[in-house]
Homo-oligomer: A and B are copies of this chain.
Amino acid sequence: MSESPLLSELIDALRCMPGIGKKSAQRITYHLLQRNRDGARKLSSALTVAMDKIGHCERCRTFSEEKICALCQSNKRDRSLLCIVESPADVYIVEEAGFRGTYFVLMGHLSPLDGIGPEDLGLDRLERLLDEGEIEEVILATSTTVEGEATAHFIGEMVHKRNLNVSRIAHGVPMGGELEFVDSSTLSHAIAGRREF
């Protein structure tokens, strides 16, 4: 037996979410139908509204329902510091770490093999932002993957040309981490980046 057409449609539609396979989609469908139809209706409308209304901030490119996001509009931020991250989720994480400057969100990283070049990351807009003269230091907080490092390097060159300060977040042993579980590449970065104690 196959499920009824509407059931199958919902199960298929749920699979647009990352990490949700056929089994999870079935489980979610049955759960929502049996126990939480109101929640499902709320989810449906939240999805439509979010997809229609949320665009990108014109200054920092993060997700925002307004032209300029709340963070870029705030006058409590240090506008001389610009932190470059790969995704809106990273903004959230850096915020939680207590950073109080502003951001620029690349929405990805350089990846020539996938056809993702500087213009796809909005680097032209970043150049204009740097040329406005408010920014004094750029902090490169892209991932520590090969692509993240390459992207950091590329943007670093761009910033250097303008005689602005540029820094990269420190690589090293995670807090609470035990040395025996740290890989050698991380450890060599941690030793090279040692600080006076």
Task: Give A contacts to B, CB under 8 Å.
Answer: 1, 3-7, 9-10, 12-14, 16-19, 24, 26-34, 36-37, 39-51, 53-54, 63-66, 69-71, 87-89, 91-92, 95, 107
Contact = CB atoms under 8 A, between A and B. Distances in A.
A10 B44 contact: no
A4 B51 CA distance: 13
B51 A31 contact: no
A31 B63 CA distance: 12
Nearest to A100: B1
Residue among A7, A36, A92 with the most chain B CB within 10 A?
A7
A7 B41 contact: no
A interface, by DSSP: helix, strand, loop or mixed? helix
A164 B148 CA distance: 70
Contact of A24 (B19, B45, B50, B107): B19
Contacts of A88: 30, 33-34
A69 B4 contact: yes
Nearest to A47: B44
A70 to B, nearest CB: 7
A27 B19 contact: yes
18 contacts: A1-B92, A3-B92, A4-B65, A4-B66, A4-B70, A5-B65, A6-B46, A12-B46, A16-B40, A18-B27, A29-B50, A30-B63, A32-B47, A34-B87, A37-B51, A40-B47, A41-B47, A44-B45
